[in-house]
Amino acid sequence: MTLPDILSLAWRTVRSNRLRTGITVSIIAFGIMALIGIITAIEAMNQSLYENFSILGANSFSIRFRERNIRFGGPPRSDLTRERRGSSRQRASTLGRIITWEEAKRFKDQFAYPATVSVSKFATGNATVFFNEQKTNPNVRMIGGDENYLLNSGYLLKAGRNFSVTDLQSGRNVVIIGSDLVDKLFRGKHDQAIGKLIRIGAGRYRIIGTMQPRGASSFLALDNIAITSTNNVRRVFSSEGSYNITIRAEDFQHMDAAVGEATGLFRQVRKLHFQDADNFYIDRSDTLVETLKNTLRYVRYAAMVIGIITLLGAAIGLTNIMLVAVSERTREIGLSKSVGAKPATIRSQFLWESVLISLLGAGFGIVLGILVGNLFSMYLKTGFVVPWIWVLIGVFICFATGLVAGLYPAVKASRLDPIDALRYE
């Protein structure tokens, strides 16, 4: 028999046992769905990270007093545990030191490299904003910035103006709000928001500008933000805590040079000896994305374990079903051998039956997994994601599962004695 004949016969046999085939296909499909679904969701998360966590832009970086503490469980990583150059005495005296207002201001005044420098300070991440009878959820981020904060952070004004010199020096209660706040408080009408008084905490702020939407994801909620001046945050909220310095180079090709200049100048601002280790952290947006992607890889490992365990159970079930098929078709096998069928032909027929059942499960599982994973991508507002590499890996795994599961039943069928098989009841 030729391969097309063997495949046709195997397909007819698979179709004739729909209940048995359906159960096995379902088990395999759920295993592949779990694998492909989680991988698709992770790919959507990665895409969202690149779109929304690259907040500084490709030619920007920031100076922080420590590395961002981003984690999905487990104890927080302390900077004191990281290896640094220099002696233990030097590390103990320098690590964990915040960036003060005087240091940030001095750096901004002295940085002569062709780049834009911004100084900002985080005020709170759970502010509630009120306007008349309307109010937001207590999850609004309040940040103090300067005249360059919008540019360096990738925001564009939709209506109104940026901070003036008087706003920055006096620290008066003026604010620029994100599009989420405009939607919640002013029904999306940006022009009507300009000049209105809103209440943030116990203070009243006048809106001087609104920002265009950034297409925020569930990770950062970039549009759910209120920006006031740095001096206002110092006066109203707290003058303590660390300040953040953002540098935007004129061109991406100048990034490394700008990082070097910034590192050297800030070491002078910090009055570090040439043998001392840096007691601050240069935070590049691409580094942040890679850190988060490395964290998500553990979720990918969990998906692989789930898929492998499910497929292992499916392989055992498929082997049992094929053994039952061999027992039910013993007389048929004997008849085929008596008319000249070779053991290799019998073996190929049962192997291809097992592979077809496994590939059917792969097909349904891949489709369901992509659909389930893209439900998550819809929530993140990313594009439709298809992890083609993992789709091919899933097909290969199911093909191998079908071969392994059907090997023993196929060999057993090919070794049956035709006379004993014909007498089998």
Over residues 135-166, the pLDDT tens digits come to 999 999 999 999 999 998 889 999 999 999 99
Average of per-residue pLDDT across 368-380: 83
Among the residue ranges 53-67, 89-103, 133-147, the one predicted with the least confidence is 89-103
Closest Cα partner for 405 from 371, 370, 356, 343?
A: 356
- Distance between CA atoms of 350 and 129, rounded to whole angstroms? 68
The phi, psi pair for 41, rounded to 5°, reads -65, -40
Question: According to the model, what pLDDT value does residue 402 have?
Answer: 85
- C-alpha dihedral sign at 311, 317, 319, 325: negative
pLDDT at 153: 87
* For residues 346-357, average pLDDT: 84
Check whether 235 has a pLDDT greater than 70.
Answer: yes
Which carries the bigger pLDDT value, residue 139 or residue 12? Answer: 139
Percentage above 90 pLDDT, the chain: 29
Of 150-159, 331-340, 356-365, the one with minimum mean pLDDT is 331-340
DSSP 209-268: EEE------TTT-TTSEEEEEHHHIIIII-S-S--EEEEEESSGGGHHHHHHHHHHHHHH
Q: What CA–CA distance (Å, rounded) separates 351 from 399?
A: 10
Query: Is the pLDDT at 405 greater than 90, yes or no?
Result: no
Query: How many whole angstroms separate alpha carbon 219 and alpha carbon 200?
Result: 23
What does the alpha-carbon distance between residue 248 and residue 115 come to, in Å, rounded to a whole number?
A: 5
* Alpha carbon distance 236, 221 (integer Å): 24
pLDDT at 303 > cutoff 80: no
Tokens 């070779």 correspond to 342
Torsion of CA 328, 330, 336, 337, to 10 degrees: 160
CA 190 vs CA 136, 150, 185, 195, 398: distances in Å: 16, 17, 10, 11, 54
Mean pLDDT of all residues belonging to the chain: 81
Q: Tell me the mean pLDDT in the region 381-399.
A: 83
Residue 312 sits at φ, ψ, to 5 deg, of -65, -45
Q: pLDDT-based confidence at 419, cuts 50/70/90?
A: confident
Q: CB count, 10 Å around CB of 254?
A: 15
Half-sphere exposure of 154 (CA within 13 A, CB side): 18
Query: Is 5 exposed, middle or buried, given 0-12, 13-18 or 19+ CB atoms closer than 10 A?
Result: exposed
pLDDT of the residue at 75:
41
Confidence band (pLDDT; 50, 70, 90) for 198?
A: very high
More confident residue, 147 or 398: 147
Q: Which of 342-346, 364-368, 383-387 has the highest mean pLDDT?
A: 364-368
Task: Provide the pLDDT confidence category of residue 254 given band limits of 50, 70 and 90.
Answer: confident
